[in-house]
Structure 1
């Protein structure tokens, strides 16, 4: 069982989340019980017995879709796969990687790098990847990054953009004190969240309203005026569907966010590596956004959308 100082707080956070929840904890699957994809886990300790790979996901639709893509590609490569989806925030699933509850998760280079090194100052894809790799806990590794990016962004309605005359995050500075910012709970405490906006752009909002990551609640809150500014992932189809305005980030508070497999070294072998690297080579921001339209806007099953994508690689 791996234990590192970097993950001590994450493990405590995950235990707290499980204790406060309904008991339906994706990381608490017992041996032989059904996982999120309906299959049964053999009770692997995460050390790769029999070549099994347990694929996890964060608790928002895009990450679930990416996890299903990884699972489909690995299955096609003859790897035994189970999935544990909708685990929670990075603090929770990093603890799962640490204790072997999961072996693999779709990550985003910038978010991971900032989590591991809150003092990070680089923003390019190559530099962010290098920083993340330098600070990875022992026993974890990153495979090849994809071209696909899904960055944090600050978004306003077209009406707000016109009324305030804002096109960038910096333009919010004289107005922030009268505005409500909405975002996922962790955005309030992460270095590139509320604190980063204050430090980098001098923004002090009237209020921060906690909303579920990647959920339609954020879109509804922005559309209905319950929040004035929202943290929405850049590939969310709701941005285009609602003519929301993504504010430019001239100070690069939000670093490069290339999609990348984060995996336990225990389960890496040529078949696993080749399958996941092929996925990364095929993923682009454009096709990821198109798949998100199918999942979020059209209500298609993420597993079916993932299967169609992998079949086309």
Structure 2
């Protein structure tokens, strides 16, 4: 009996140890499920509903992923005002933003005449009042511009919007509301004296077809339109900066930046932004509008740029 009692006691103790160990593991696992490793490095980003904004979101998402961040990317959420609202309500942590749009749409400030640096500084100062931060801006801009065919520009010696004034008359095609906007025909008349412009309403997306057909002589374009790949069209310079400046930044909640680690997080985003020239973004837009998935287009670009690898200070 003594030997049996000893065996039972040892067995009971062993079982108690197993149960205790299991209970301890259960507590640890429960805690882990509430705060899994790397959860602090999760961030929610939103984009507008057009290809370039989605490309920017993908570039950031993939570059951040190889650096240990999990990005919940919500593409096509809405225009700038909607993204700003969601950010203020903490439904997203950040989004793709254009500096001029931040000033004009979100802050309600004028943008004409401001160069990229001044526009960035004013947008940054505005966001600071809301406890929001901005990444570094891209070298490229996506803003309104006046474009003609290359043939028309060469025949009339056009390189600047101001050069259009020397024409007897010309036909300007643009979306209907452009006619009454300061950042449109009204501004072209006031700033450049283009009272010789005859306005032709052209639906968005059909302006290049209108140029090609000869229905208009010049159009309102955007400086990163995929149609600008190649030499068919000439974008006229805007020396008075009537259309302001529109560089891309990531707008992000400052509190969230503290959680994810501001220095490294912004270093990764800034490295992507610094690499994006006017030509590179036009090429990316062209690839996506031709039917290639933005996920693949972004991955290929990052790989070729050496950005699909962990960020090293002074490296990327």
**Cα displacement string for residues 190-211 of structure 1 (whole angstroms, at most 9, x for unaligned residues):** 6533443233223455436363
Q: Does 1:256 align with 2:248?
A: no
Q: Indicate the residue corresponding to 2:287 in structure 1.
A: 294
- Aligned residue pairs total 260
Length-normalised TM-score, structure 1 = 0.69
Q: Indicate the residue corresponding to 1:33 in structure 2.
A: none
More helix by share: 2
**Cα displacement string for residues 201-237 of structure 1 (whole angstroms, at most 9, x for unaligned residues):** 234554363634xx4x333333234544322222323
Q: How many angstroms does 1:154 deviate by?
A: 0.9
Structure 1 unaligned segments of length 5 or more: list them: 1-48
Q: How many angstroms does 1:244 deviate by?
A: 1.0
- 2:126 is aligned, of 114, 128, 135, to 135
Q: Give the 3-state SS of the residue equivalent to 2:56 in structure 1.
A: helix
Do the aligned partners of 1:295 and 1:302 also contact (CA within 8 Å) in 2?
A: yes
Q: Indicate the residue corresponding to 2:173 in structure 1.
A: 181
Do the aligned partners of 2:229 and 2:286 also contact (CA within 8 Å) in 1?
A: no
Q: How many angstroms does 1:183 deviate by?
A: 4.2
Q: Any residues of structure 2 matched to 1:188-207 within 5 Å, and which?
A: 191-203=182-194, 205-207=197-199
Structure 2 unaligned segments of length 5 or more: list them: 1-38, 308-316
Pair member with larger Rg: 2
Tell me, in whole angstroms, the C-alpha distance in 1 between the residues paired with 2:76 and 2:202.
Answer: 18
Dislocated runs of 4+, deviation >6 Å: none
Q: Indicate the residue corresponding to 2:61 in structure 1.
A: 71
**RMSD of the alignment, in Å?**
3.2
Length-normalised TM-score, structure 2 = 0.68
Q: Any residues of structure 2 matched to 1:236-255 within 5 Å, and which?
A: 236-241=225-230, 243-255=232-244
- 1:284 is aligned, of 268, 277, 282, to 277
Q: Indicate the residue corresponding to 2:213 in structure 1.
A: 224
Go from structure 1 to structure 2 and tell me whether the alpha carbon gap of 1:288 and 1:239 turns closer, same or farther (over 3 Å shift). Answer: closer
Do the aligned partners of 1:183 and 1:232 also contact (CA within 8 Å) in 2?
A: no
Q: Does 1:110 align with 2:100?
A: yes
